[in-house]
Amino acid sequence: MIRKLSALFGGQSLAMDLGTANILLAAPGKGIVANEPSVIAIDTYTDKIICVGREAKAYIGRTPERIQVLRPIRNGVIAHYDAARQMIAHFVRDTSRKMNIFKPRLVICVPMGVTPVEKRAVIEAGMEGGARQVDLIIEPLAAAIGAGLPIREPLGNMVLDIGGGTSEVAVISLSSIAFAESVRVAGDAMNVAIQRYFQDKKQLLIGETIADKVKIEVGAAIALSEPRTMQVYGKNLVDGAPSSVVATDSDVRKAIREPLGAIVEAVRNALERTSPSLSADIYDNGLLLAGGGSMLAGLDDLISRDCGIKVRRDADPLTTVVRGTAKVLEKNADLDHVLLDR
């Protein structure tokens, strides 16, 4: 019977990047099979799910009282357990149905410093979503594997993964983390800083979604050779009427100076606390950027200039982590040693 079940379940597995901003799922040999915002809308009168993902994200700031829109993953971990459980369960079930698989093995990426309570919450949510087994992997390790870095070698590899809630810098050697630091400053903190800047300097109240759009479309970490502008719509702080202003890359750069400074400082601290031999490797190999937050224009040049190291961005930074997690599954037990102990 056990052999029959093993044959039935064999090869059925999913990798999940449980991000603050987005949830991505990948299947070994099939690539990315789901990519949705980590958002869920719930009817507070009935406690039933209204929608999840992109549809729910469109509800942010636009709902009546009875509809609650939640982002249950905060700083990379579960902040609202019931909503997270329902959201994870929805994505696992929906993806499994579309791929015609049953009770997959699930490997989920989690941030560094995840507590035993947080690990248990993630595992239980995955199991309730229909997985037969849930394992966890630290995000920077998954990013290094996804980018094809030689993590097994006695060689220093440095990774900076900037997500929605956390920025995690890690030095990896011999399939382990030699030094790591996590700061709860990333894409969301930049959005908040942009909202605050427009409120204080432009007397315009803008929503979270608009701030994110401004960051993506005109944001830059350094001065650009060709300035960027866009029209930004919101609510006039003085009279409460709908209004708009022109946003420039210079505005965004001023707005996000503080969160960018915290991220650069985390890289500097990691370099200072890394052993001389690993530091020499990093000087030769440089730093790998991954995560959606790393896509900010000029961020690679800013870190290179301020930290004195080469910096390269992964070809597809949004999917680096989940691609690495899928590789762990593709290698069967060959990379199981990188998984977290329960």
What are 184-230's pLDDT values in tens digits? 999 999 999 999 999 999 999 999 999 999 999 999 999 999 999 99
If asked whether residues 136 and 158 sit together in one domain, one would say no
Count: domains in the chain? 3
Q: How buried is 204 (Cβ within 10 angstroms: 0-12 exposed, 13-18 middle, 19+ buried)?
A: buried
DSSP string, 212-254: HHHHHHH-BSS--SS--EEEEEEEETTT--EEEEEEEHHHHHH
* pLDDT tens track for 303-321: 999 999 999 999 999 999 9
If asked whether residues 269 and 177 sit together in one domain, one would say yes
If asked whether residues 201 and 328 sit together in one domain, one would say no
- What whole-number distance in Å separates Cα of residue 7 and Cα of residue 255? 55
If asked whether residues 23 and 91 sit together in one domain, one would say yes
If asked whether residues 111 and 228 sit together in one domain, one would say no
If asked whether residues 38 and 85 sit together in one domain, one would say yes
Confidence of residue 5 (pLDDT cuts 50, 70, 90): very low
Which of 254, 284, 304 is at the close of a domain? 254
Q: What is the CATH number of the domain that holds 208?
A: 3.90.640.10
Query: Please, are residues 102 and 96 in contact by the beta-carbon 8 Å criterion?
Result: yes
Structure tokens at 201: 């300097």
If asked whether residues 266 and 300 sit together in one domain, one would say yes
The residue behind tokens 């490997």 is 107
* pLDDT tens track for 257-290: 999 999 999 999 999 999 999 999 999 999 999 9
Structural domain that includes position 230:
190-254
Bridge-partner residues for 49, per DSSP? 42
If asked whether residues 308 and 328 sit together in one domain, one would say no
Q: Give the global pTM.
A: 0.89
If asked whether residues 273 and 173 sit together in one domain, one would say yes
Q: What is the CATH number of the domain that holds 281?
A: 3.30.420.40
Contacts of 58 (CB under 8 A, 6+ apart): none
